[in-house]
Chain A
């Protein structure tokens, strides 16, 4: 076991994958010599060489397209898109090509590509360094979609993603890179060494794709969340003294319906919290799924706390971010309803 932050955990996952399987390659803007603008690929080029860890031109569409070609020709590419906000030039290659290749060729062709990209706000990045685009990828058929909320899961899920024969889009909540964040920007930053999930096994292990995690068991209400908001939601529930069951979705596609439904059937109440904009957000899919399966057990309407339906504004970061107060108010409403 070692103490790791999320950057080190992700780095360790790629290190293990590169070491174990000679077909694994890492590519992206500034990932090679420099080790990535967030240092996630630090040292990998030095260790595995310029032919396994490639700096690329600034062309996200090109990066994903090249990764598809490499994948078809026997490699197992791990592509980095520098910020999720810059993934859109690659959207066509992801949606029309990567996601559908296996289907359209009836299994004749496929590409085991993993795309890693930092997402989410809280770093004063303004509208082009803060987006949470999970919903627009969840709507696409044929690509697995993952977001870890801590170093332990980050390493295990990334190894699982790289080893998966299907394409995986791996979203990394960058506000969590250096420590858990409970939504209060005024508090001094807390390192991962203070958190049990900052303990990361040294060698190879996987966290299964398609499995949510109950991060806190409880009976009053189910709080479903992912990424940065897992920590915010936990803090909000604790601040109210609620015995909340907090679930980290971890994988959007395929969704672990069983874990979510079992919890809401037990508690009868549910709140969903995500940072992404509300309209058409992943929370809508969660609500529909739960409502379909738990209607008769529900004691109150399901609520969601989300980002507002605006671009992420630089000056109003913390008015935009669905912080503890907003989550706590919604928890109170759901607890008092019905």
Chain B
């Protein structure tokens, strides 16, 4: 008989076999949250970390003070980026299942988070993503083939075979090297922003962290340094409700929002509908303007849902209801932006279907090309000597010796 215990254990709203339950998600009506001046003190706008900033309403109209009033062509580009991300993810999952790549992580259901933020920022702003913001890559002009070669660890792999799939980087795209160790990028982004301020440059850094990873000490290092030095940085917590099998309540989401951690550090917290492209765009724009005006950092919580498995090694039906994703109260980001464009008379089901077909073809063509540079199972392979390079800038004697030993082993 277990002894009585007073320990509180967070409640997970629904497990397999139970009905999905999202009653814990605090919603605000679209357009219902005020948009303060960008230099307002954090203490004066604490309610923004509790309420939910939304622009798109149930009828797909853009309403309220956070409406960024974007041109139609920008909205169409955004929709295209989001659809490409989804098509790319679906296709790469299939290639993993075929044994062509070792591992993959989809961002399905969270596409607006990355696409909107990247589009709201300047190309010179520096991005420090986690592994689930592949959308940033598309906005920053990455070639599909280039990304696929990384996934394949093949002869054109930007990481020279050293990293797991999806751990991309891009120098021209100003995307920092992704780490498998959670949360490390968050305070690094703050340091980058501090350097921009030291150098008197106008650029802003932005970083993304999962709500689960926000439990790490590095999250708090980021907020503290950002607060102390008023660093020009945008700190995004992607609250997709799950960290592998663990519900966000275990990262502290049961007691208060993730955005609410900002005000404790004197940093404004914005709680944003992460599946609303316009809301994410507007919040990022607000934070970037605030940073560029010298008013410091913003913590943005993107409320979204991880609609796919954590990774190709995961099976979510073991720990959450199968119908969870479709019952998520904030809907699907692609469907919502599509609905908005259709309402504006600037899009149609027909055009949507045609575009999906085009994107699928593009991705297939890129895959065909990338595969010619080698896959896990066949084709050319990277030169093994590369294993010993870049440990240091100059290869020390012991690595020269080890490289030689491996060469001899091969012959």
Contact = CB atoms under 8 A, between A and B. Distances in A.
Interface in B254-286: none
A185 B359 CA distance: 37
Interface in B163-205: 163-164, 167, 179-183
Interface stretch (B36-44, B213-221, B299-307, B363-371): B213-221
B376 to A, nearest CB: 9
Interface string A24-58: 00000110011001000000000011111011111
Interface in B1-34: 2-3, 5, 7, 9, 12, 15
B2 A329 contact: no
How many B residues are at the interface, by size bracket? 35 or more
Contacts of B319: 33-34
Contact of B162 (A55, A89, A124, A313): A313
A315 B382 contact: yes
Contacts of B399: 308-310
A86 interface: yes
B290 to A, nearest CB: 29
A30 B406 contact: no
B387 A308 contact: yes
A75 to B, nearest CB: 11
Contacts of B161: 313-316
B298 interface: no
A51 B8 CA distance: 9
A177 to B, nearest CB: 13
Interface centre among A22, A60, A316, A326 (most CB of B within 10 A): A316
B409 interface: yes
A329 B408 CA distance: 11
A19 to B, nearest CB: 12
A288 to B, nearest CB: 18
B2 A48 contact: yes
Interface residues of A, number: 45
B247 to A, nearest CB: 9
Which secondary structure dominates where chain B touches chain A?
A: loop
In this complex, the member of A30, A55, A278, A314 whose beta carbon has the largest number of chain B beta carbons within 10 angstroms is A314
A126 interface: yes
Nearest to B218: A89
B328 interface: no
A279 interface: yes
A315 B157 contact: yes
Contacts of B313: 37
Interface SS of chain A: loop
Contacts, number: 124
B245 A128 contact: no
A166 to B, nearest CB: 26
A97 interface: no
A129 interface: yes
Nearest to A326: B409
B225 interface: no
A237 B96 CA distance: 37
Contact of B102 (A48, A56, A124): A124
Contact of A55 (B5, B250, B386): B250
Contact of B7 (A51, A56, A89): A51
Residue among A54, A59, A85 facing the most chain B CB atoms (10 A cut-off): A59
Interface string A127-165: 111000000000000000000000000000000000000
B153 interface: yes
Nearest to B6: A51
Contacts of A308: 387-388, 399, 402, 406
Interface in A293-322: 308-311, 313-316, 319-320
Nearest to A125: B164
A126 B2 contact: no
Nearest to B213: A58
Contacts of A278: 402
Closest 9 A-B residue pairs measured CB to CB? A315-B161, A128-B180, A57-B215, A34-B245, A126-B164, A315-B153, A51-B5, A59-B215, A50-B9
Interface of A: 22, 29-30, 33-34, 37, 48-52, 54-62, 85-86, 88-89, 124-129, 278-279, 308-311, 313-316, 319-320, 325-326, 329
11 contacts: A34-B246, A55-B250, A56-B250, A57-B252, A58-B215, A128-B181, A309-B402, A314-B102, A315-B153, A315-B162, A319-B406
